[in-house]
Amino acid sequence: MVKDNKDIWIKSGYETFAVLGEIGLKIEPLAKKVGKNKSSFYHYFADLSIFIDELLAYHIEQSKVIAQKEQAAKNIDPALINIIVEHKIDILFNRQLRINSEQKRFQIILDKSNEIVGNAFVMLWVRDLDLRLNQNQLESIFELALENFYLQVNLKNLNHEWLFNYFTNLKKIVNNFVLQPLNASV
């Protein structure tokens, strides 16, 4: 029972952080959201900083779940798109980590999460796009694509249709980049 109540706080805080960032983590509104009083929060977490540490640890666990699913995925559409939609809140949490990466603890968790999830994603992406690039080229293109993804993604557009269009467009861009030789007379 005790673990269940703590989990309610963590899941609610996780969703709040994913959508609103750290600024949304106010104890009184969270208490209303979970239907508990503020003293319940302090029973499980001595302060907001400890609570945020719990959210960050939860994010690493969620990243491992996503990576396992990505490793089993055979393609971007529909497999990866389904995983992303299913883990929308986790993706948005990662986005908030990127936005707030000037804070060292957020940057550390962002790096860990990207390492866990990114490797599986890159391998799927390479297979699905049939890319024949060296490791440095793959990492550079992936980093640009990832940055672009997080600049565009939000709670409303993180759905099958938007993701399908995003990955279709990304595939065109990558193919144009890879297949088109640089023309010095441009």
Report pLDDT digits (tens) over 12-68: 999 999 999 999 999 999 999 999 999 999 999 999 999 999 999 999 999 999 999
For 17, the domain range is 2-179
What is the spatial distance between Cα 8 and Cα 4, in angstroms, rounded to a whole number? 6
3-state secondary structure string across 80-139: HHHHHHHCHHHHHHHHHHHHCCCCHHHHHHHHHHHHHHHHHHHHHHHHHHCCCCCHHHHH
Tokens read off for 75: 């393609």
Residue 43 lies in a domain: yes
Residue 24 lies in a domain: yes
Do residues 80 and 159 touch, judged by C-beta distance below 8 A? Answer: no
Residue 46 lies in a domain: yes
pLDDT > 70: percent of the chain? 94
Residue 139 lies in a domain: yes
pTM for this prediction: 0.89
Residue 185 lies in a domain: no
Residue 37 lies in a domain: yes
Q: Which residue has the tokens 């750290």?
A: 22
How many other C-beta atoms are found inside a 10 Å radius of the C-beta of residue 157?
Answer: 12
Number of domains in the chain: 1
Residue 184 lies in a domain: no
Selection from 93, 160, 166 nearest residue 125 by Cα = 166
CATH code of the domain containing 47: 1.10.357.10
pLDDT score for 41 = 96
Do residues 152 and 110 touch, judged by C-beta distance below 8 A? Answer: no
pLDDT tens, position by position, 162-174: 999 999 998 888 7
Residue 97 lies in a domain: yes
